[in-house]
Amino acid sequence: MKRIGMLTSGGDCQALNATMRGVVKGLHGCFKEVEIYGFLEGYKGLIYGNYQKLSPDDFSGILTKGGTILGSSRTPFKELDIPTPDGLDKVKSMKENYKKLKLDCLVVLGGNGSQKTANRLSEEGLNVIGLPKTIDNDLWGTDMTFGFQSAVDIATNAIDCIHTTASSHGRVFIVEVMGHKVGWITLHAGIASGADVILIPEIPYDIKKVCAALENRTKEGKGFSILAVAEGAISKEVAKLPKKERKQAVTDAAAKYPSVAYEVADKIKQYSGMDIRVTVPGHTQRGGSPCPYDRVISSRFGAKAAELIKKEDFGKLVVMKNNDVTAIPLSESAGKLKYVSPDDNIVKNAKMLGISFGD
C-alpha cells in the first residue's frame, strides 16, 4: 500500500487538475494499492491537517477542468518560520501531519515559492516530489511549466480581439499582460498576436523610443498600433535607481495609476499627444480549460512523478528539457527565477520582425 499526499499551492492555473490526474493514473499503473490524500488550500491544509481521502473517481473527468479541486492559497516562503496567528509552528505542523498519515511521499504542484517550501520539507526529511506549475514559465530548471501555454493563448486572443477595434478607430491600444517579475507571457503573446511594441520587466523601456516606434508606424501609413505590456514593465529611469528608491518609485506609481499600462499610456500621451486606450485581461489569463498542449505536458509530468515515486527517487522537481520530461534536484531550482534575457534568440527574432522593446 502506497500512501501519497498531494497539494496545489500558490496562484491557480488551468492545468492543475490535469496534472493531478496524470499523477494518480500513473500511480495506479505502478502500484496495486494506492491511497491519495489531498490537502486543502495548499500548504495551509498540510499545516492544519485539513485533507480529504480521494478515490480514483475524484480524478475522473477533470482533464479539461481549470482551477484545482483541492483549492489553493499562498504560504510565503519568507514567512515559513513565523508562527501562524494561532501560534502553530508551520514546518513542525507540516511534518507532524505528514507522519500522522504515514505518507510515503508528498507531491507539490506549485511555482517558485511553493517549490522552495517543498525543498525545505525535503531537507527536513520528508519524501517530496515537485511539479512545475506557473503561468509565468519562470521556474528555473525547466523549459516549460504547465499553465503557461494556456495563459499565452488567452492573452493572445485578447490582443487579437483588440486588433479589430484598434484598426477600426485608428487608435493606439495597450494590452496589459500578467507578469510582475518576468515577461515570458507578454513576449510570447506579443509575438503571436503581432503586437508592435512589447514591454517586459527584463528590458527597461525608454518612453521616447516607444513613441518613436509608434510615430514611425504612423509615417508608414499604419492606422493603429498595439502594445503588449507586462504588468511589471519598468522604465530605464526607474530601473537605474538604487533598490530602495526604485521600490519607492514603483509604490508611488501604483498609488497614482490603476496599473502599469495606465502609467505607460499617460507617458505616451504626455510625450506625443496620441489617443490611447487600455485593456487589462487580468485573471482571465489564469482561468478556463487548459489548452491541448498543457493537457499533454501535464499528463507527461504526472506520469514522471509516479515513476519517481516508484523508484523512490525523492527530493526531485519534474522538468522538461529539450522536449524530454526528466527531473532535477529540488535544491537546484529552489529560489531561482528563469528570466527573459535581452540576448535570448526569441528577443532577437522579435526585433528582426520589427517589434520594438523600447530599448
Return the active site residues. Answer: 136
Residues 39, 45, 47, CA angle at the centre, nearest 5°?
Answer: 130
- Please choose, from the candidates 14, 6, 322, the residue with its C-alpha nearest in 3D space to the C-alpha of residue 152: 14
- 150: its cell numbers: 494556456
- Please choose, from the candidates 150, 66, 81, the residue with its C-alpha nearest in 3D space to the C-alpha of residue 121: 81
Cβ atoms 207, 190 nearer than 8 A? no
Total residues belonging to the chain: 359
Q: What is the DSSP string of 46-102?
A: HHHT-EEEE-GGGGTT-TT--S-TT------GGGTTSPPTT---HHHHHHHHHHHTT
Cβ atoms 36, 316 nearer than 8 A? no
- Please choose, from the candidates 13, 301, 349, 18, the residue with its C-alpha nearest in 3D space to the C-alpha of residue 143: 301
- Name the percent of the chain in helix, strand, coil, to the closest 5: 45, 20, 35
- Please choose, from the candidates 18, 54, 251, 212, the residue with its C-alpha nearest in 3D space to the C-alpha of residue 133: 18
Cβ atoms 106, 94 nearer than 8 A? no
User: For the purposes of burial, counting CB atoms within 10 Å of the CB of 87, is it exposed (0-12), middle (13-18) or buried (19 or more)?
Assistant: exposed
Cβ atoms 199, 162 nearer than 8 A? no
Cβ atoms 134, 184 nearer than 8 A? no
